[in-house]
A and B are shown apart, each in its own frame.
Chain A
Amino acid sequence: MRIVISCALLIILSLGLVFALEQAPLGSNHIDKKDKPGRYYLDQGMEKTGAANVVTSVVVTYRGFDTLGEVTILFIAAIGLGAVLYSRKKEKRDQKEKPSASLILQTGCRFLFPLIVLFGTYVFIHGHLSPGGGFQGGVIIASAFLLLFLGCKEKKIPMKSMNAVESLAGIIFVGIGLAGLYWGGSFLENFLPRGMPHMLLSGGVIPIIYIAIGFKVGAELAGIVAGLIERNP
């Protein structure tokens, strides 16, 4: 009975969706007019912000407020997780004796960990030059921590300093925004010199913000994973 009703609802929903999307001009050049934001970002993006990756300049500068909201949402997830999983039964944790991993796995994990962290750092530092950016790099770093949790169970991860890094990175983001307010006239304005395009130090505040986001996301997701695997010291 439940399946029948669900299928009926879903068929109506899909018909509506298909109908609506047929009308929308998908695939055509819908940003050819001058006043559309998309055309402006593509044409002027590189000169105005100095970043070669237009998506990065959109995410950090033009729609930077959305990025602030997004960083906030990740922060909420990490804190909410900590609040919900607070004071779980501690006795249950000690009872289960998990077998430790084999020597090959432990050595492999310890070897791979700095390489993956390096790759993640590369991704978020080069966010304005190639595909990637703060979020992607942060996630890669967090997956390095996940590997460490799964493979080497005896290594201690300093969770308190992760929380401090996360908090500090968030404050740096807000601080850069307020500095833009003070020096540039509007919140999150790009007030540093642009530099040459395609260089590492171009783009004004974009690399700084992305580095802060990279650290924050990495620390946050590592904290979330640690909370789920019950590794809070």
Chain B
Amino acid sequence: MIVGLYTMLTKKNLIKVIIGLSLFETGIHLLLVVVGYIQGATAPIFSKTTGSSAEMVDPTPQALVLTAIVIGVAILALALSLAIRLHEHYGTLNLRKIRELKW
């Protein structure tokens, strides 16, 4: 997550910033999954080989992460389409040069 934030803050190319955003979000998703972890427990799916429900991991963070991943994908798709449009207008993706809107 911190690596993603660092990339977003320091890189000049918009695509690298978007990749940084993706790294940042992946880190957060991993954090969410880890929150649900219970030591020694197994995946929350009933089948012939798993035991009782007492030894299963918390299913709620996994559901939350599903939603969060989809939200991240949607943001990424929109960001990439905006990058395409930006490149059409400015000819470059260097963020230092795309600064028409000033004070």
Are these two chains actual partners, yes or no?
Answer: yes
B77 and A81 within 8 A (CB): yes
User: Does A163 reach chain B (CB closer than 8 Å)?
Assistant: no
When the two chains form their complex, are residues A80 and B47 in contact, meaning their CB atoms are under 8 A apart?
no
Q: Are B78 and A26 within 8 A (Cβ)? A: no
Are A13's CB and B2's CB within 8 A? yes
A34→B6 CA distance, assembly (Å): 42
Residues of A in contact with B, size category: 35 or more
Verify if A197 is at the interface (C-beta below 8 Å from B).
yes
- Residue in A10, A13, A28, A221 whose beta carbon sits within 8 Å of that of B38 in the complex: A28
Is the Cβ of B67 less than 8 Å from the Cβ of A69?
yes
Interface residues of A in 21-40 (CB under 8 A from B): 21, 24, 26-31, 37-38
Q: Is A14 an interface residue (CB 8 A)?
A: yes
Q: Are A58 and B63 in contact (CB under 8 A)?
A: yes
Alpha-carbon separation in the docked complex, A135 to B24 (Å): 22
Contact B74 A74, beta carbon cutoff 8 Å: yes
A9 contact set on B, CB distance < 8 A: 9
B81 near A81: Cβ-Cβ < 8 Å: yes
Given A6-B10, A41-B59, CB of A74 within 8 Å of CB of B43: no
B59-77 CB mask vs A (1 if < 8 Å, else 0) is 1101110110111011101
Docked-complex contact B63 and A74, CB < 8 angstroms? no
CA distance A29 to B30 in the complex (A): 19
The reply on A110 being an interface residue by CB < 8 A is no
| Contact residue among A26, A67, A227 (Cβ-Cβ distance under 8 Å from B67) | A67
Determine how close the nearest CB of chain A comes to the CB of B4; give it in whole angstroms: 10
Residue of A nearest to B45 (CB): A53
Q: Would you call A10 and B85 a contact (CB within 8 A)?
A: no
On whether the beta carbons of A10 and B77 are closer than 8 Å, the reply is no
The complex places the Cα of A228 from the Cα of B87 at a distance, in Å, of 13
A5 to B99 alpha-carbon distance, docked (Å): 21
Q: Are A3 and B10 closer than 8 Å at their CB atoms?
A: yes
Q: How far is the CB of B61 from chain A (nearest CB, A)?
A: 9
18 A–B contacts, CB within 8 A, in A order: A14-B2, A17-B1, A24-B35, A31-B38, A38-B60, A41-B59, A42-B54, A43-B53, A45-B59, A69-B67, A73-B74, A74-B74, A76-B74, A78-B77, A80-B81, A88-B85, A198-B47, A228-B80
Binding site for B on A (CB under 8 A): 2-3, 6-7, 9-10, 13-14, 17, 21, 24, 26-31, 37-38, 41-43, 45-46, 52-55, 58-59, 63, 66-67, 69-70, 73-74, 76-78, 80-81, 84-85, 88-89, 130-131, 133, 135, 197-198, 221, 224, 227-228
